[in-house]
Amino acid sequence: MNPAPVPARKMTSDSVSLVLSSSPEGLAALERRLAKDLECLGWPARSWMPVREHAGEPVLDVAIIGGGQAGLAATAALAQQGIRAVVFDRSPAGSEGPWATTARMETLRSPKELTGPALGLPALTFRAWFEAQFGAEAWAALDKIPRLQWMDYLVWYRRVMNVDVRNETAVTEIKPLPDAPLVRLELRTPTGAQRVLARRVVLATGRDGLGGPAVPAFVNALPRSQWAHSSDAMDYGKLAGLRVGVIGAGSSAMDSAATALECGAHSVELLIRRPDLPRVNKGKGAGVPGLTQGHYDLPDELKWRIRHYINVANVPPPHGSTLRVSRFPNAFFNFGCPVLSIEPQGASMRVATPKGDFVFDFLIVSTGFKVDWGNRPEFDAIAPHVRTWGDRFVPAPGNEDQELADSPDLGPVFEFQERARGECPGLDRIHCFCYPAALSHGTVSGDIPAISDGARRLASGMASLFYREDFEHHFANIEAYSEPELFGDEWVPAPPPAERG
């Protein structure tokens, strides 16, 4: 099945003025260059996987859940190994991931020079895509990548790498089969319910990949119409004229506050639990090749130590996002202000804090995400059996961390492992290539900086697993291989020395 066409979206950027150079090469020329590079590299590699069926049903080699940047990179990396994957995404084409839906930053937070999902191909980088259309001068003038332009780049990536994405297809159940080395996916599609079998499944499901928003209990006092999580899809225009409270001070909190202010909110009060904002992004300081390649091989206590340290240090909101809020005179930064209680008052609410009470018409909680299997019914068949770090690792006193304890304890190819051996055969055929893999593998399965490294690790590991599983098939192919290199007429046998004249 060919990938569905993706509608083009007009390129826009409110945050940067694009000055076209005199002679950008154009996307058509770039695509020819990329096609030649792929041809020279033999990418995609020739198919070597045996075709499988089960009970008369075709079997996919790999099914990938999620068509965002992680799913795209994983599919392209698998193609380099000669392994075909089919991607299923619940969103319409061109809306995969958060970029065009729930993300509200003006630009990406990552430096523009990072190559992201390009997998070592210069012609596949955002920079090459950008310069082909706008020129080198515009690239030099660009500060950060506009958010919607990143989405446009990913749409292009999907097309030129021929990624097979089945859009508007939601996975409703994932279940390893007890009688075959396969995983069954139940799907909800525009044409009705479908069932798919795959030898392996990759969860490329993003920041909230194994759960959902971390919602504080105090919002239970409010009707759902009076609050939202910062990751919710919402029309911020409805906040015009309202007194808005924002819980948190991370990147999403700043972007939500700024969007509310830009949409005409009467005021925005940021309620910040900490006495001050962190100044340094320790995670950025950790981004060296040694850690990217070596995190998985670290002892458990060192993995926990580095991830816990980054969690405790916290990540500061971006400089630009913070200024985007503070330029409004009706924006207020309240430090040392955890929420003590909330009391509904008709169409508004009273929020009690150590610094006094606040009256809001609407509340936005920007409190991150958590592993929450109960929030993802599609995982019901496997959730009780997934081994977590909390099942087997006890941190040093004072280093407790619930986010880390809830993280899945993954194998070397991002595969889930059983909590109790033998209770869920085939669980290790499901691979967690999303943010909750960070404690086991480092941040290589979702964020832009090392997504290519993670995708290549996943693809090469899967190639090894498939070969081991199909060894007898491949050995039989070796035995049956009969293409001659020599035909017997390339030489004349020499007579014995005594017979030579």
Please list the pLDDT of the chain residue by residue as tens digits (501 residues): 444 444 445 444 443 444 444 478 899 999 999 999 999 999 999 999 999 999 999 999 999 999 999 999 999 999 999 999 999 999 999 999 999 999 999 999 999 999 999 999 999 999 999 999 999 999 999 999 999 999 999 999 999 999 999 999 999 999 999 999 999 999 999 999 999 999 999 999 999 999 999 999 999 999 999 999 999 999 999 999 999 999 999 999 999 999 999 999 999 999 999 999 999 999 888 889 999 999 999 999 999 999 999 999 999 999 999 999 999 999 999 999 999 999 999 999 999 999 999 999 999 999 999 999 999 999 999 999 999 999 999 999 999 999 999 999 999 999 999 999 999 999 999 999 999 999 999 999 989 999 999 999 999 999 999 999 999 999 999 999 999 999 999 999 999 999 987
Cβ contacts of residue 381 below 8 Å, gap of 6+? 173, 174, 175, 176
Other C-beta atoms lying within 10 Å of the C-beta of residue 50: 12
Hey, what long-range contacts does 276-284 have (CB within 8 A, 24 or more apart)? 276/335, 277/249, 277/316, 277/317, 277/322, 278/313, 278/314, 278/315, 278/316, 279/316, 280/313, 280/316, 281/315, 281/316, 282/309, 282/310, 282/313, 282/315, 283/310, 283/315, 283/443
Distance CA 295, CA 228 (A): 36
C-alpha 158/C-alpha 263 separation (Å) is: 33
Q: For the sheet with 348-353, list strands across it.
A: 341-345, 348-353, 356-360
Neighbours of 69 (CB within 10 A): 26
What is the DSSP code string of 147-208?
Answer: HHHHHHHHHHHHHHTT--EE-S-EEEEEEE-TTSS-EEEEEEETTEEEEEEEEEEEE---TT
